[in-house]
Structure formats: structure tokens, C-alpha cells
Amino acid sequence: MLARHLTLALAVLLSPLLHAADEHNHLTDQEKKAGWKLLFDGTSTKGWHAIGKDAPTSGWVAKDGELSFVKASAQGPQSDIISTDLYSEFELSWEWKLGEAGNSGVKYNLPDATKPVGIEYQMLDLRHPDAKVEGGKHLAGAFYDVFAPAPEAKIKPAGEWNQSRIVIHGNHVEHFLNGVKTVAFDFGSEALTKGIAASKFKAVKGFGIKTSSPILLQFHGDEVSFRDIKILPAK
């Protein structure tokens, strides 16, 4: 009898946590009809792998409805992970949180899918040294090192969830952070050409030219978690 009561008590304690996890990593009927796809099923790393590998490197863990890089579980070489499928025009939505002073990002439009270089949606805690880089081009929501985010965009503190989107329609690209548009640019535009020329990517062949590539979740050595990663490819 005591064991039964303990089991019930444990179930009551765990219920809110399990319910919270169940609220995420699902598509609504409306999203399914529209053509959205989940890129993370909430329970496994299926659909993600290190470049040139069949699976993610050590440290990437799917647990409690989150896809995370966890330092404590990392052994041996670690790296970014990329999606199995390639995308060119899409709407990508995800939630993320960082450890204190953490740094990560989501990359897309990789000119060479065998290398972890592409347009990066920057994810950065304000206590990271990069947050002080002049011009703000390394702040959360930025097109990393090319375009700074809109000043009204606000990141939540480390350990709290942020919501982000990347939208590509034709040649037009937009970044959003917590409901605020942070960056907008066009492939082939003079502004983009000038921005890249003034960045660390100026010598990267094909950088900023529209292409089809995997989605990349960046390994930067810091704790990071993702959930609700979903994409609506252009029809």
C-alpha cells in the first residue's frame, strides 16, 4: 500500500513536467494542412547528423522534449549538426535557450554543405563577450557579422526560452526574435554585397548567394537547447 501511495505521489509531482514537455514538438492540424514539418520529434536526434557523419557527435542529447548540447555528456570531438533535408525557400520557427554567457546559432544557405559556413541567425546571451562587439552585429537575432538586429529586439535571460523565425520568400529574407523583426535583406542586393564585403565572410566563395542547403544548429562549446523546430518549405 505504501509503495502504491509513493508511486501516485511521484506521478503527481512529475505530471506538470510531463505535461509541459507534451505541449511542445507537435504540429497543429492547421499546420499539417499548410505543409509544416517537424525537424525535431521531441524524443530523438533523428534527422540530424554531424557533417560527414551518420549521427550527431557526442554531447547532443534529446531529452525532456529538448534537443540540447550538454557539456557534461560530451566526450571526444564535438561539432555542429545539420538537417538531413535541404531547403532554399522556407519559414523556419524554433524556440531556444542558452546557458549563462552562451553562444550558438542557426545557419542556413550554406554555400558548401560539407563546411559549417553559412548565413547565421545569431543566438547570444548578453553576458557573452561578443555582445560588446562594436556595431551590434553579433547580438541575438543578427545576421552574424553582417547586419545588426533592430534595437527594439529583446533577448530573454539565460535559461529562459526565446522564440525565433527565419522567413525566405523569393530573394527576401527576414529574421524575427520574440515577435520582433530584427533583420531584413534581399539576396543579390547592394546592401547585402556591401555587408558581406565588410565582414569576416568576404573571402568565402559563394557566401550570400541564394542556394539550397541543410539547416545547421551550431556547436560553440556552450550549453544550448532547442525545441519546437519546424519548417514550412516553399511549395
pLDDT at 19: 45
Residue range 173-177: mean pLDDT, rounded: 98
Q: Could you tell me if residue 12 is inside a domain?
A: no
Cell numbers representing residue 196 in the block: 558581406
Give me the number of domains the chain comprises.
1
- Choose between 85 and 1: higher pLDDT: 85
Q: What share of the chain is helix, strand, coil (3-state, %, to 5)?
A: 20, 30, 50
Q: Could you tell me if residue 77 is inside a domain?
A: yes
pLDDT digits (tens, 9 = 90+) for 187-228: 999 999 999 999 999 999 999 999 999 999 999 889 999 999
pLDDT digits (tens, 9 = 90+) for 25-81: 999 999 999 999 999 999 999 999 999 999 998 889 999 999 999 877 777 778 999
Domain holding 146: CATH number? Answer: 2.60.120.560
Question: pTM of the predicted model, to two decimals?
Answer: 0.89
pLDDT digits (tens, 9 = 90+) for 157-174: 999 999 999 999 999 999
Long-range contacts of 139-145, Cβ-Cβ distance < 8 Å, separation of 24 or more: 140/177, 141/175, 141/176, 141/177, 141/180, 141/182, 141/183, 142/175, 142/182, 142/183, 143/119, 143/175, 143/183, 143/185, 143/195, 144/105, 144/119, 144/120, 145/120, 145/199, 145/200, 145/201
Q: Could you tell me if residue 17 is inside a domain?
A: no
pLDDT at 21: 54
| 211: containing domain | 26-233
Q: Could you tell me if residue 46 is inside a domain?
A: yes
Q: Could you tell me if residue 11 is inside a domain?
A: no
Q: Could you tell me if residue 7 is inside a domain?
A: no
Strand partners, 166: 92, 175
Q: Could you tell me if residue 10 is inside a domain?
A: no
Q: Could you tell me if residue 9 is inside a domain?
A: no
